[in-house]
Structure 1
Amino acid sequence: MRVIAGDFGGRNLKTLGGKTTRPTGDKVRAAMFSMIGPFFDGGQVLDLYAGSGGLAIEAVSRGISNAILVERDYQAQAVILDNIKMTKEANKFTLLKMDAHRALQSMSERFDLVFLDPPYAQASIVEDIEQIVSLNLLADQAIIVCETDTSIDLPSEIANLKVIKEKNYGISKVTIYERGSNE
């Protein structure tokens, strides 16, 4: 895996062996960012199930100012810290070493971009989005990007956020939510 574009483009990312994380492959990551950007002028990103940290690092590489990464797995945390170190801009990243729901409860930031790729996708994504909205953690023009297996069908609307794009890439499905136009 590598960073696709931006300031860190071409740099290699470490990944965790085994089945505790499922890193988003280069092609899917490139497609995601084509759907939502591909570049940004500042803002904050939340990667709630960070795994290797690749999505948040890619977002910062493409212009997001700051990233909060949440990961409870100790081995994945070490990989994330190595990947952050590779950027030589560690001050742009915060790693929260805890469960996603506990992390959300501790936050007061408002995010422009949120990545959700939990291990148990459908139930967790709906709960996560509902919690993020109820805690008022989204900026006005926020986008939530969900990555799931293609067999998962997420609702077209969750907590006043609507699906604006959905596309399959091999075994992965990317679903993008944003606030409805009347919000």
Structure 2
Amino acid sequence: MTRIIGGIAGSRQLTSPAKVTRPTSDRIRESIFNRLASRDRLDNERVLDLYAGTGALALEAISRGAISAMLVERDGKAAAVCIKNCQLVQKALEKEGFFEAVTKVANKSVQNFLNTDTAEYSLVFIDPPYEVSNDEVIENLEALLPRLSTDAIVMVERSSRSAALAIPTGLELDEEKSYGDTAIYWLTRG
């Protein structure tokens, strides 16, 4: 079962749609968020979670101090789960007196969302199903560029068995870290 690891909503169990998603493991999320905390990159961040699944990555960021999160999920069942999980985390925040965080869910394809969205984001998670091609991920990154703040961090999760991800112009590889079957690419504005 997927849960929020830390922050105000820490230990809350998230709902997960059956067989529609592949949530990032607690161990990997804990590593990601420890690194973000050490870089002082959680408070007041504007988060975008593409291929959101359960919304665990964006909601972990909200629990730890991000001020907004947009979760994008094409699958209707998974999008409904994202809405339910957003409500769970929002209730935990309100119980502790935090009312500023805003979460939204867009039930549409990533490319369609990126073609119509105009907001700016400072922390982006891209965790597509492993069968999504690197070419599609690169198209997503290129479409995302105009929506990134100057100090944005973009994290892309891929299978460690996939070919290395080509980084489009405008982004730079800050670090690549493997966790068994999973590789995380940390990207920054170039």
With normalisation by structure 2, the TM-score equals: 0.87
Residue 15 of structure 2 is matched in structure 1 by: 14
Residue 134 of structure 2 is matched in structure 1 by: 122
Within 5 Å, which residues of 2 pair with 1:64-143?
A: 64-87=66-89, 88=91, 92-119=102-129, 120-133=132-145, 136-143=146-153
Contact persistence 2:36–2:42 (CA under 8 A)? no
| Deviation >6 Å, runs of 4+ | none
Look up the SS of the partner of 2:173 in the other structure.
strand
Contact persistence 1:4–1:26 (CA under 8 A)? yes
The offset of 1:177, in angstroms, is 0.3
Look up the SS of the partner of 1:37 in the other structure.
helix
Task: Give me the whole-angstrom Cα distance separating, in 2, the residues matched to 1:148 and 1:58.
Answer: 19
C-alpha RMSD over aligned residues: 1.6
* Structure 1 residues 159 and 36: CA distance shift in structure 2, 3 A: farther
The offset of 1:68, in angstroms, is 0.4
For structure 1, the residue ranges without an aligned partner over 5 or more in a row are none
Q: Percent identity?
A: 35
Task: Give me the whole-angstrom Cα distance separating, in 1, the residues matched to 2:118 and 2:45.
Answer: 14
Look up the SS of the partner of 1:79 in the other structure.
helix
The offset of 1:16, in angstroms, is 1.6
The offset of 1:80, in angstroms, is 0.9
Residue 4 of structure 1 is matched in structure 2 by: 5
The offset of 1:170, in angstroms, is 1.8
Within 5 Å, which residues of 2 pair with 1:142-153?
A: 142-152=152-162, 153=164
Task: Give me the whole-angstrom Cα distance separating, in 2, the residues matched to 1:138 and 1:102.
Answer: 17
The offset of 1:176, in angstroms, is 0.6
How many residues get paired?
176
